[in-house]
Amino acid sequence: MIAFFVILFGLIIGSFLNVVIYRFPREESLAFPASHCPQCDHQIKPWENIPLVSYLFLRGKCSACKTSIALRYPLVEALTALVFFLTYLKFGLSLDLLVFALFGALLIAIALIDIDHLIIPDSMIIIGLIPGFYLWLSRPEQLLTPQFYGFVGLGFSFWAIRFMGEFFFKKEAMGLGDVKFAAMAGWVLGWDVGIVSMFLAFLTAALLFTIMIPMGLIDRKQQVPFGPFICLGIWLGLMWGWEIIDWYLTMFIGI
């Protein structure tokens, strides 16, 4: 029953994320005007705006002009609901659930804005620092030091990659947004889980490129945003970072 409400809440937040992802980088108001069809300006009625359900009911088409609604909208809603559900399984019904589920939603917004516009908004990175403060205040037994090292260490590492890319290859290896975002990740996760997260980000990026380049899905010269991979890495680290560290230590070092 609780799980049902968590999923429902995730769907609603996911629906709001679609608005944020579209309007925020365009500096449009998040509240006004009401959502409308980009093709015919038909104002979307409340019953046409129910997450997932309306998409299925409208068969993926605007009720006025029958233009297809991008499949991405229901996918973002479903993904947000899934993130909320998994966060609930991990943290139970708690303040942690609220903070980390919304943090997951922020990561989804950042990933898609970076895919669309190749930017990571500074204001979103600043909002992303909040879970770090929350962890620091809610778990006084944990020291602040790992978070501080994470912030400086990951920020500096990414800046170094950026600097070396420009210095040796005369091209942007890493966007400035990615550098700030990595520092934020270190602040939230601490240096230990932070390193695991960034490793997962590079690993998933490398895996995807080895699949996508030969298939011709992306061009070698095309600028590909790294933000979405950082988002994935952060989220995996948040959920299973310590499990991964334990597994690694047992497996390879035998502790």
Q: Which residues bind Zn ion (CB under 5 A)?
A: 37, 39-40, 42, 62, 64-65, 67
Minimum distance of Zn ion from residue 71's CB (angstroms) = 16
CA–CA gap between residue 48 and residue 52 (Å, rounded): 10
Nearer to Zn ion, 22 or 136 (CB): 22
Q: Whole-number minimum distance, CB 43 to Zn ion, in Å?
A: 10
* Radius of gyration of the chain measured on its C-alpha atoms: 20
226: phi then psi, degrees, rounded to nearest 5? -95, -20
Burial class (CB in 10 A: 0-12, 13-18, 19+), 250: exposed
Q: Which is nearer to Zn ion, 36 or 139 (CB)?
A: 36
Shortest separation between residue 78's beta carbon and Zn ion, angstroms = 23
**Nearer of residues 66 and 139 to Zn ion, judged by Cβ:** 66
* Least distance between Zn ion and beta carbon 59 (Å): 14
* Shortest distance (Å) from residue 238 CB to Zn ion: 39
Q: Residue 61 or 139: which CB sits closer to Zn ion? A: 61
CA separation, residue 164 to residues 66, 150, 159 (Å): 50, 21, 9
Residue 43 or 94 with smaller CB distance to Zn ion: 43
Instruction: Using CB atoms within 10 Å of the CB of residue 96, give its burial: 0 to 12 exposed, 13 to 18 middle, 19+ buried.
Output: middle
Q: In angstroms, how far apart are the furthest CA atoms of the chain?
A: 64
Considering the complex, state which of residue 65 and residue 212 has its C-beta at the smaller distance from Zn ion.
65
What secondary structure letter does DSSP report for 62?
-
Smallest distance, Zn ion to C-beta of residue 30, A: 21
User: Smallest gap, in angstroms, from Cβ of residue 39 to Zn ion?
Assistant: 4
Q: Is the peptide bond before 33 cis (omega within 30 degrees of 0)?
A: yes
Identity of the residue, 44 or 98, whose beta carbon is nearer to Zn ion in the bound complex: 44
- Burial annotation 159-195 (CB, 10 A radius, 16+ → b, else e): bebbeeeeeeeeeebbbebbbbbbbbbbbbbbbbbbb
- CA distances 32 to 17, 176, 222, Å, are 15, 31, 35
Residue 36, classed as helix, strand or coil, is strand
Nearest to 64 by CA among 41, 46, 32, 35: 41
